[in-house]
Amino acid sequence: MNPETSGEFITLARVVKTQGRRGEVAAETHSDIPERFAAGMKLFALPKAKGSERDARRELEVEEIWPHKGLLVFKFAGVDSISDAEVLIGSELQVPIAARAKLDQGWSYVSDLIGSTVLDRGREVGRIADVEFGAGEAPLLIVVDRAGKKFDVPFAEAYLEGVDLAQHQVRMNLPEGMLEVNAAITAEEKKEQQPETRSRGEGNRREKKRR
């Protein structure tokens, strides 16, 4: 899912489920800034609902926060029960754009990378279409090449040569064979595999009849 801006706000996390009995919620983070969240900070919860309800942001104060199984668990002031927490499921946790964290050298908001071109040793791989969080230690860039083929590329410091936001480029040095291993199967490749599967099935049925 994309870390996205909405009006004068930017999304830093999305609530995915309740956690615990005191109103805690677990959220998928959309920021790669270390220590971006802290007790006492104010967040705005944008509901998942559409229409007028979608625009009704709710200001929340973080009482406690801690990591848990790839997610961040938030305890907000005034959200003290499971039923209170259920209302927040699907909400985007936002801050005003003016309150964006000051970037340390070498860090960037993943939201700034969407649409950028990924280069592997100078060779174009494709453009960043989406970002997934929580699957590992590093965010996962969903890169699509000119033919529409998708690649899952870890946005890890070990593979990163540099980010040029002005040129909309992410320069990487990926291990040999990573792109082939992490490439998603295309619709055409699935079709090519189907006849082979059917022929195998028919062969098995004929073998059973002969027996």
Segment 176-193 mean pLDDT: 68
Can you give the pLDDT at residue 157?
77
Which pLDDT tens digit goes with each residue over 120-155?
A: 999 999 999 987 765 556 778 899 999 999 999 988
Distance (Å, whole) CA 93 – CA 132? 16
Q: pTM above 0.75?
A: no
Predicted local distance difference test score (pLDDT) of residue 137: 61
Q: Identify the pLDDT of residue 52.
A: 46
d(CA 211, CA 199): 19
Query: pLDDT over 90 for what percent of the chain?
Result: 36
On whether the CB atoms of residues 65 and 38 are closer than 8 A, the answer is yes
Q: Per residue in 63-78, pLDDT tens?
A: 999 988 878 999 999 9
**Dmax (CA) of the chain:** 75
Enter the tokens of residue 130: 């989406």
Residue limits of CATH 2.30.30.240 in the chain:
112-185
β-pairing, 5-6 with 42-46? Answer: unpaired
pLDDT for res 156: 81
| Residue 177 to residue 151: CA distance in whole angstroms | 12
Residue 55: CB atoms within 10 Å: 12
**Which residues make beta-bridge pairs with 169?**
117, 164
**Per-residue pLDDT at 10:** 79
CB 134 within 8 A of CB 28: yes
Q: What is the mean pLDDT of the chain?
A: 78
**pLDDT value for 53:** 52
Going by pLDDT thresholds of 50, 70 and 90, the confidence category of residue 4 is very low
**What residues form DSSP beta bridges with 24?**
none
Residue range(s) in the chain whose domain bears CATH number 2.40.30.60: 5-98
Is residue 33 predicted with pLDDT exceeding 70?
Answer: no
4 versus 163: the higher-pLDDT residue is 163
- Supply the pLDDT for residue 192: 61
Question: Element (H or E) spanning 114, and its range?
Answer: none
pLDDT for residue 7: 53
CATH class of 112-185: mainly beta
Superfamily of domain 5-98: RimM (2.40.30.60)
CB count within 10 Å of CB 40 equals 9
Residues 6+ away with beta carbon under 8 Å from 13 = 27, 28, 29, 30, 31, 37, 72, 92, 93
Q: How confident is the model at residue 211 (pLDDT cuts 50, 70, 90)?
A: low
Half-sphere exposure of 179 (CA within 13 A, CB side): 18
**Alpha-carbon gap, residue 175 to 70, rounded angstroms:** 24
